[in-house]
Amino acid sequence: MRPVPTSDPSPRLCSKVGCAQPAASTLTYVYAEQTVVVGPLVAEAEPHVYDLCAEHTARLTAPRGWQVMRLQIDLEDPTGAVADIGALAEAVRDHRERPAGAPGDGAEADRRQGPRLRLVSGDHDG
């Protein structure tokens, strides 16, 4: 008897060696900015990004001299996946290039429809 395919794919697991917990966030490195970006789980696994469980997301630290940028994530229900990891990297670039109070600093985002990325302080990485 052949296995019956299901509509639900296998849950993605944490990328850390030896960890079998379900993934709750996605980590990517923005080398040009020396920034580690941790954000919502991307919709599909991609090369050069790493899925992390809730515990590893909370304990994450950056390499020396690098900054951690944590986008708001619901670690209890990480189903609000981002379609494209590029959106995370763009959020880093946009945040760094736009001076505070400049057009598009948040007021414009509040008027947009649909899901948004919101930057959260990286002070939790210690």
User: pLDDT digits over 72-111, tens only?
Assistant: 877 666 555 555 556 666 666 666 665 555 555 444 444 4
DSSP string for residues in the chain? -PPPP-SSPPPPB-SSTT--SBP-EEEEEEGGGTEEEEEEPBSS--TT-EEE-HHHHHH--PPTT-EEEEE---TT-TT--BS-HHHHHHHHHHHHHSPTTSTTSSHHHHHS-S----EE-SGGG-
**Confidence at residue 93, expressed as pLDDT on a 0 to 100 scale:** 64
In a domain, 45, yes or no: yes
Average pLDDT over residues 22-49: 88
Look up residue 85 and give its two tokens.
């990891």
**Confidence at residue 7, expressed as pLDDT on a 0 to 100 scale:** 47
Residue with tokens 């001299």: 65
Look up residue 42 and give its two tokens.
């991307």
In a domain, 58, yes or no: yes
Q: How many domains does the chain contain in total?
A: 1
The candidate with the shortest Cα–Cα distance to 54, out of 85, 34, 27, is 27
17, pLDDT greater than 90: yes
In a domain, 107, yes or no: no
In a domain, 109, yes or no: no
55, pLDDT greater than 90: yes
Give the range of the structural domain holding residue 87, as residue numbers without chain letter: 11-95
In a domain, 102, yes or no: no
In a domain, 6, yes or no: no
59, pLDDT greater than 90: yes
| pTM to 2 decimal places | 0.58
In a domain, 18, yes or no: yes
Look at 56 and 3; give whichever has higher pLDDT. Answer: 56
State the average pLDDT for the chain.
72
In a domain, 52, yes or no: yes
53, pLDDT greater than 90: yes
31 touches 92 (CB < 8 A): no
